[in-house]
Homo-oligomer: A and B are copies of this chain.
Amino acid sequence: MAAPSAASARQEGQPFAKAATMRDVAERANVSVASVSRVLNGLGVTSDATRQRVLDAVEDLRYVPHFGARSLSTSKNDTIGVILPDLFGEFFSELIRGMDLAARAHGKHLIVSSSHDGAEDTLAAVRSMRGRVDGMIVLSPHLGAANLSSEFAGRMPVLLMNGGAAEPGRASIMIDNHGGAVGAVQHLRSTGRRRIAHIRGAAGNIEADTRAAGYTAALDGHDPIIVEGDFSQASGHRAATQLLSMTERPDAVFAANDMMAVGALLAFQEAGVRCPEDIAVVGFDDVPIAALMRPALTTMRVNIAEIGRRGVERLIGLVQAGATADATDTACEIVRPILVERQSTAAASSARFNKG
């Protein structure tokens, strides 16, 4: 009181006035900060008179609690961090959408960090989240689970979705990449395709490796035909062009994800190669675009948004368990992709029929 009220003495040279603090509110309402805190958080008891004075002061000063300070004091952030390798394509969009929905449903915030090139870059991102999040979901095809565990060493709840081998005892959601790839190839073979090529994902990416391995395994002795890609549409286009230049052209392609399959589809179209008549294509993920392509893309569906939702909910469970020193969720959930048959792999006869 003796000192000029901080809140009123401002608005001068500074372009941005410092926001009112709890103390400003307390002074204006002639109460202590504790009372302000009680009123704002609805804890404890307060007389109606005090409550009203506080509320008025809050209104006048346009007071908004300082989230960071509150976190520091309660050591809770109500925020979960997500580490992604990239943000390209529809896969991650869908994933984040699912996560965001789940997070909001539980009143949590989401902070995502993406575009991580390699393992060290990812690790840096993980570290930068300390003190801002209560737990994190890590998707890192670069990072082995071993690196991650040593990094966290039980510091904070973590849910792994990095496609690598599940580490027992660490909560995770994994896509059955091997099984999915096998399913794709088997579908192709069952519809009469014989020379089945594979456009693989980026080298060094665990998911890419696993899908490639699945492809090879399902070939059942036939020679593998593998061309490199990096999960981008453009790389799928390039790879498909390579395929076309081969002396013995494949009659089917399994692309390690939908975006590459889309690129391949376009390349075939440009080259005048008909799909599915001349060459069949199957993708992986079932991103929204897959159903919109012409021919519509057969793919191994992973319910992306749903996985995001599950991930967030399990992580929230872990956070709460951690707070109460409860039993911990260490399950490794495995999601099996399911085949969605569309036109891009239709047998020659039915393809002709559907073409109209």
Chain A interface (Cβ within 8 Å of chain B)? Answer: 11, 13-17, 19, 62, 64-72, 77, 87-88, 90, 92-93, 96-97, 100-101, 104, 109-115, 127-132, 151, 153-157, 262, 266, 288-289, 292-294, 321-322, 325-326, 328
Contact = CB atoms under 8 A, between A and B. Distances in A.
Contact of A104 (B115, B153, B157): B115
A130 B322 contact: no
Contacts of A115: 100-101, 104
Sorted from nearest, which 7 A-B pairs have the closest CB atoms? A66-B131, A93-B93, A67-B131, A68-B131, A294-B294, A64-B130, A111-B111
A109 B112 CA distance: 8
A67 B289 contact: no
Given A62-B153, A101-B115, 5 more contacts: A67-B129, A67-B130, A87-B93, A289-B292, A293-B294
A154 B15 contact: yes
Given A90-B90, A100-B87, A130 B15 contact: no
Copies of this chain per assembly: 2
A193 to B, nearest CB: 24
A198 to B, nearest CB: 22
Nearest to A94: B93
A109 B155 CA distance: 22
Contacts of A72: 66, 68-69, 72
Contacts of A266: 292
A155 B90 contact: no
A127 B62 CA distance: 10
A68 B132 contact: yes
B100 A155 contact: no
Contacts of A154: 11, 15-17
Contacts of A90: 90, 93
A113 B107 CA distance: 11
A127 B65 CA distance: 8
Contacts of A156: 16, 19
Contact of A14 (B16, B112, B325): B325
Contacts of A113: 109-110
A131 B292 contact: no
Nearest to A86: B97
28 contacts: A11-B154, A15-B328, A16-B154, A17-B153, A17-B154, A62-B151, A62-B153, A64-B130, A65-B131, A67-B128, A67-B130, A67-B131, A68-B71, A68-B72, A68-B77, A68-B132, A69-B72, A70-B131, A72-B72, A100-B112, A104-B114, A110-B112, A110-B113, A262-B292, A288-B289, A289-B292, A292-B293, A293-B294
Contact of A87 (B13, B96, B130, B262): B96
A155 B63 CA distance: 11
A16 B109 contact: no
Given A16-B154, A322-B15, A128 B109 contact: yes
Nearest to A295: B294
Report which residue of A114, A157, A326 has the largest number of chain B beta carbons within 10 angstroms of its beta carbon: A114
A16 B153 CA distance: 9
Given A64-B127, A131-B69, A294-B294, A16 B157 contact: yes
A262 B69 CA distance: 47
A132 B67 contact: yes
